[in-house]
Structure 1
Amino acid sequence: MPRTRSVTQAVRLDRRTLLTATGAATLTAGLGYALGAPGEAAAGPTNPPAATRTRTTEGRPARAPYTRGTTLAETATPHTAPASHAYRHLTSGPGWPRVTRDDLTAPHRNRETRRTALAAFVQFTDMHIVDVQNPLRYEYLRGATSSAWRPQEALSVAGAISLVERVNSLPGGPVTASPLHCVMTTGDNTDNNARCELDWFLKTMSGGGITPNTGDPAHYEGVQNSGLKLYWHPDSKFPDNDKQSHAFPRVQGFLEAAIRPLSSPGLNIPWYSTVGNHDALPGGCYAPADPFFTEFAVGDRKLMELPTADGEAIWDNVERGGDLKGAAFKELLTSRSRQMRKVTPDESRAPFTPAEYVAAHLDPAYRGPGPVGHGYTQANLHEGTQYYAFEIAPGVRGVSLDTTDPGGHYEGSIGAAQLAWLKDQLNKAAADHTHVIVFSHHTSKSMRNLNPDPQRPREKRHGGAELTALLAAHRPVLAWVNGHSHKNKITPHPGSDGAPGFWEISTASHVDFPQLARVIEIADNHDGTLSLFTTLIESAAPYKATPTHLTATNLASLYRELSFNAPGARTTLAGKPKDRNTELVLRKS
């Protein structure tokens, strides 16, 4: 039997059901949730008394504005002041205030007493659900880039489940009291483009049991028990660099707990998925469909050590786009076979194809609250595409793009066919007087990769500057919501041809500290302007980690704490106050 298999086996896809699956379901909700309370209430109970509730146009009770469970109320903060060689624990710190942005138009007075909510949704991004034992991972490049290996990565599933629990606890939009219509995850849902990771991601979002382990079913076989000083060894007294230079703790039972079965409740609202470079390219940067990488991923050898100079040369070549097909990477793996550690082979580690990614989303086993396909449809499967449009709420349309360049490299672009499709979607929205939110993985600044698609070598690729100009010229576009940079950044883009312009909302990842997601609410101020409210949220895990009691909840807390202390981690990812909790005002078209 071959060591690889189709994703229909890996994720139990029922072909007959798949062939009869329909497209994305239309969400139903009353248009315009009227607000009865101005401003924001202080942090309060999850279920406020009836006297503080407003009413929707459908007659259902709506929650009053709130801060509890958001970064408006509190944020993860180190318990002690900075000190050299200090591992710091986290505690509750001050919340981040809301900042009103008037870059595109001036806000009018008393708008909070007039506004009605049009839609509210949650953005997840860069979850990086990771199989930490995958042979194709390049942890040995840690000395060249901190993203090659992170000490918290083994707990990514526990951290993601806790984020789902946070969303499930939210009573609605923090400002407008609108019901949350959906969650959109803007790419890099997986880390190694591995089938097992895709299964774990889909179960995290829709609910189910997850065993975040591959290879040996009873034992961990990754870098954290390798005896190499480059990696934190939590279970032993081994004097690794993280313990010696950064005072990382010993956490007995960590690796056993990291591969134990977990259960996700799944989201209690519909969710949609956008593809990122780590969901499509081996290592997040190499052109796919190379059988060498597939065989290596499912095989029984794993490279864990590399001289620093060699690692820096490999990564420099990747950054410059000098090894799009991974030729130098393949040569490295071939030449170092004798230095590799023997591991248990596992066919579930094989890379998945774009078609398998779409087919897995259409699998009824992962439907959860829906919709069927989570945005993807039979048309995507038939046409070989990963972009689509859907209704967020009446009068508000979402457009999900595929910005990964199949030619290789971690930066992105879109092809001419997708650009023509996008123009058509925007023109239809204008004719229907419908607002548009555009979703993608890459930011406007990280769409500079115009390498041709190997499957469509003559098709022109289009970058971020061209896409920005297109969106700025179309009245329906309110925002472009994306990730990739792992950093909070909100950028105004002035309009052209009489259009009001739009806001680019880039949100930090859920793998690197501060591990955030974002609630986005859209409101009509009934004064010629609209307001987009952005509110950052953390996972539901307590700030204080208890490493002596490794429950699923404490693993999620430890996931956050380790990310804060990770050597080499960037400290600017939270962004400035104007990139966090905001009111973004723009002229109504």
Structure 2
Amino acid sequence: MKPLFTLGILLAVFLIIVAAGAYPIDSRVVTTLERTVLPVAVPSTSSTIFPYEVSQYSKNGYGNWEYGDGLGYEKRLDLLSPAHNNTSTNHSAKLLRFFDITDIHISDEETPTQAIYYGYLGGQSSGYSPVMLSTTQVLDAAVQTINAFHKEEPFDFGISLGDAANNEQYNEIRWYIDVLDGKTINPDSGVKDNPVPGPFNDYQDTFKAEGLNKSIKWYQVLGNHDHNWIGTNPPDDYLKANYTGEYILNIGNIFTDPNGIKSRGLYMGAIDGRTVNGDIIGVGNVSDFNTPPKVLAADPNRRALSVPEWMSEFFKTTSSPKGHGFNRTDAEAGIAYYSFEPKADVPIKVIVLDDTQPSTDADVGGYGHGSLDNVQFDWLVSELDQGQAEGKLMIIAAHIPIGVEDRGSSLDEYMAWSQVADVSEQQLLDKLHEYPNLILWIAGHRHYNTITPQVSPDPEHPELGFWEVETSSLRDFPQQFRTFDIVRNSDNTISIFATNVDPAVKEGTIAAKSRSYGIAAMEIFNNTLPYSPSGSYNAELVKPLSPDMQEKIQNYRAPLNS
């Protein structure tokens, strides 16, 4: 009887796995070095449509794409002295290989506490876009793509640069961690919906995530959406109650009303999860409704998380390291910055910052700015001092970039550094330029693939410059992540190879549909991207080394293919 009993258990497990199912990715897994995703131009004869008219996208030519040629590496010498001759350099040893993902914005599309009003007729695509229907499936496709590359050439670690959740909700951050852990995902809230009968054919269907390869350690950064209402403001008691209730949020135009989140008069809208295209319900002026609109059902798992609560979820994981960079003491205090060393035998240190605005850092235009307080700045200086003294190359990972957004630009109220932060942007940049071993700042937040040379202010010491690399969002087109390969060169420099990667979505899957939605949203909202039309940019970033580090790095002789 025992063999039959064991067989029965195995069969039951098999049936559970089959019932949950998994979404496959494309059989060809490549980077943008081999091919790019190119939007197909919308025909000039197409009708102009609103973002919420999802059923009209395809018939009007929105969201179509094709594969284009690959992009090679542009060799960037911006940090080198003009006298430096880099033309005959040989790459002699691989120091580090890692990937970053950012701005996944895992979304509970049925929550009553959204900002759809700001985007369903145009305006802000961050308020509404149909990509919000399938964020868990897109993340799963990205994870499967990462795993495929890891089999070819292992990553030393991965890091997620913030905005894991779209709306600071408990169920959103659990879906995010559970996708990375490879659990069964039910991307639905309230009551169970099934817009298209049968499994694996709509955004509400339960599926089995593959999970990140267990040998890859991954680390987490805090983003502004992870602890603010739609990334804009710390929730007050009114908002907190709204998250777990049935009534669709009534708020004013926070971008124009001086009362901000205290204003009222507009129903923000929600998604009807019973519909194939995620139809919008309950949106518009309060005066247009006889009774307050509701979502289909309340759900306590939609509750808003404080920073300590959000951090504590990263200890409830089956992947490593436990806490994903955070320690329990800091998590209890909401201290979301730390450092780690990826490889014991390589002198490289990663410093993770929390440069999002705390609730005490009020500023005009909401809480999407960069900010550091004096306590974290002092900690950062200590970490940099220690890394420099110990002869370690240093990488800073943060959600919000530095020195790339002008207060006079069109995004000045949302993306620039806070004007009321304890530490000014210039003060921070000046301090960073004191460390020749700082090689790289990586960030997300703006949903762009861009590379900025933070050139040394002293032409006599070019080694005081560093590279800043931003990675696009997995939410919005081009829905990419990046890989980084740091190698030692023969001329006392290092090269950082930054490579964009499109998740290898398989035709007909939910993730493939999301790519079309992302392209359509870009076209309908008239959003512009750097490096159009693909939005991708691959570069070899050359960084000069100080004399001390030249000698130390020369001692490391790992082969390039290690």
The TM tier, using the shorter chain, reads: 0.7 to 0.9
Question: Counterparts of 1:411 and 1:122 in 2: how far apart (Å)?
Answer: 25
Question: Counterparts of 1:196 and 1:397 in 2: how far apart (Å)?
Answer: 33
Q: Runs of 5+ in structure 1 lacking a partner?
A: 1-45, 47-66, 221-234, 236-251, 452-459, 547-553
Question: Counterparts of 2:433 and 2:311 in 1: how far apart (Å)?
Answer: 30
Q: Is the 8 A contact 2:112 2:295 kept in 1?
A: no
* Structure 1 partner of 2:107: 130
Question: Counterparts of 2:29 and 2:193 in 1: how far apart (Å)?
Answer: 40
**1:99 to 2:74 alignment:** yes
Indicate the SS of the match to 2:75: strand
Judged with a 3 Å threshold, the aligned counterparts in structure 2 of structure 1 residues 316 and 101 are, in CA distance, closer, same or farther, namely farther
* Structure 1 partner of 2:555: none
* Structure 2 partner of 1:588: 545
* Structure 1 partner of 2:146: 167
- Alpha-carbon shift at residue 72 of structure 1 (Å): 0.6
**1:109 to 2:87 alignment:** yes
Q: 1:315 aligns with which of 238, 242, 255?
A: 255
Matched to 1:362, the amino acid is: F
Q: 1:397 aligns with which of 346, 349, 369?
A: 349
* Structure 1 partner of 2:370: 412
Q: Is the 8 A contact 1:492 1:503 kept in 2?
A: yes
**1:156 to 2:135 alignment:** yes
1:296-348 residue CA offsets vs partner (Å, 9 max, x unmatched): 010011259x9xxx7xx43345xxxx556x21259978967834234300010
Q: Is the 8 A contact 2:37 2:68 kept in 1?
A: yes
* Structure 2 partner of 1:245: none
Matched to 2:97, the amino acid is: A
Judged with a 3 Å threshold, the aligned counterparts in structure 2 of structure 1 residues 201 and 447 are, in CA distance, closer, same or farther, namely same
Question: Counterparts of 1:537 and 1:75 in 2: how far apart (Å)?
Answer: 9
Q: 2:436 aligns with which of 475, 493, 515?
A: 475
* Structure 2 partner of 1:292: 238
* Structure 1 partner of 2:519: 564
Question: Counterparts of 2:488 and 2:534 in 1: how far apart (Å)?
Answer: 24
Judged with a 3 Å threshold, the aligned counterparts in structure 2 of structure 1 residues 300 and 504 are, in CA distance, closer, same or farther, namely same
Q: Is the 8 A contact 2:247 2:292 kept in 1?
A: no
- Alpha-carbon shift at residue 189 of structure 1 (Å): 0.6
**How much is the aligned-residue C-alpha RMSD, in angstroms?**
2.8
Q: Equivalences for 1:364-383 in 2 at 5 Å? A: 366-368=317-319, 370-383=320-333
* Structure 2 partner of 1:33: none
1:80-103 residue CA offsets vs partner (Å, 9 max, x unmatched): 674442234322211112100111
- Alpha-carbon shift at residue 151 of structure 1 (Å): 1.5
**1:506 to 2:483 alignment:** no
Indicate the SS of the match to 1:530: strand
Q: Equivalences for 1:38-49 in 2 at 5 Å? A: none
Q: Is the 8 A contact 1:517 1:538 kept in 2?
A: yes
Indicate the SS of the match to 1:399: strand
Worse-matched range after superposition: 566-575 or 69-78: 566-575
**1:489 to 2:424 alignment:** no
Q: Runs of 5+ in structure 2 lacking a partner?
A: 1-26, 47-60, 269-284, 360-365, 406-414, 547-562
Question: Counterparts of 2:394 and 2:115 in 1: how far apart (Å)?
Answer: 39
1:184-228 residue CA offsets vs partner (Å, 9 max, x unmatched): 1101111011000000010122221111100112367xxxxxxxx
Judged with a 3 Å threshold, the aligned counterparts in structure 2 of structure 1 residues 164 and 68 are, in CA distance, closer, same or farther, namely closer
**1:121 to 2:98 alignment:** yes
| TM-score of the pair, normalised by structure 1 | 0.72
Q: 1:281 aligns with which of 219, 228, 234?
A: 228
Q: Is the 8 A contact 1:146 1:569 kept in 2?
A: no
Matched to 1:187, the amino acid is: G
Judged with a 3 Å threshold, the aligned counterparts in structure 2 of structure 1 residues 84 and 316 are, in CA distance, closer, same or farther, namely farther
Question: Counterparts of 2:505 and 2:65 in 1: how far apart (Å)?
Answer: 12
**1:523 to 2:487 alignment:** yes
Question: Counterparts of 1:367 and 1:575 in 2: how far apart (Å)?
Answer: 39
Indicate the SS of the match to 1:301: coil
- Alpha-carbon shift at residue 77 of structure 1 (Å): 2.1
Question: Counterparts of 1:510 and 1:329 in 2: how far apart (Å)?
Answer: 32
* Structure 2 partner of 1:230: none
Q: Is the 8 A contact 2:42 2:62 kept in 1?
A: no
Matched to 1:367, the amino acid is: T
Identity of aligned residues (%): 26
Question: Counterparts of 2:264 and 2:530 in 1: how far apart (Å)?
Answer: 29
Indicate the SS of the match to 1:165: helix
Question: Counterparts of 2:286 and 2:232 in 1: how far apart (Å)?
Answer: 21
Q: Is the 8 A contact 1:212 1:261 kept in 2?
A: yes
Q: 1:327 aligns with which of 259, 262, 274?
A: 262
Q: Is the 8 A contact 2:36 2:67 kept in 1?
A: yes
* Count of residues paired in the alignment: 457
Worse-matched range after superposition: 385-394 or 337-346: 337-346
Q: Is the 8 A contact 1:186 1:276 kept in 2?
A: yes
Indicate the SS of the match to 2:484: strand
Q: Equivalences for 1:533-552 in 2 at 5 Å? A: 533-542=497-506, 545-546=507-508
Question: Counterparts of 2:212 and 2:301 in 1: how far apart (Å)?
Answer: 25
Question: Counterparts of 2:42 and 2:66 in 1: how far apart (Å)?
Answer: 12
- Alpha-carbon shift at residue 570 of structure 1 (Å): 1.6
Matched to 1:417, the amino acid is: V
- Alpha-carbon shift at residue 491 of structure 1 (Å): 0.5
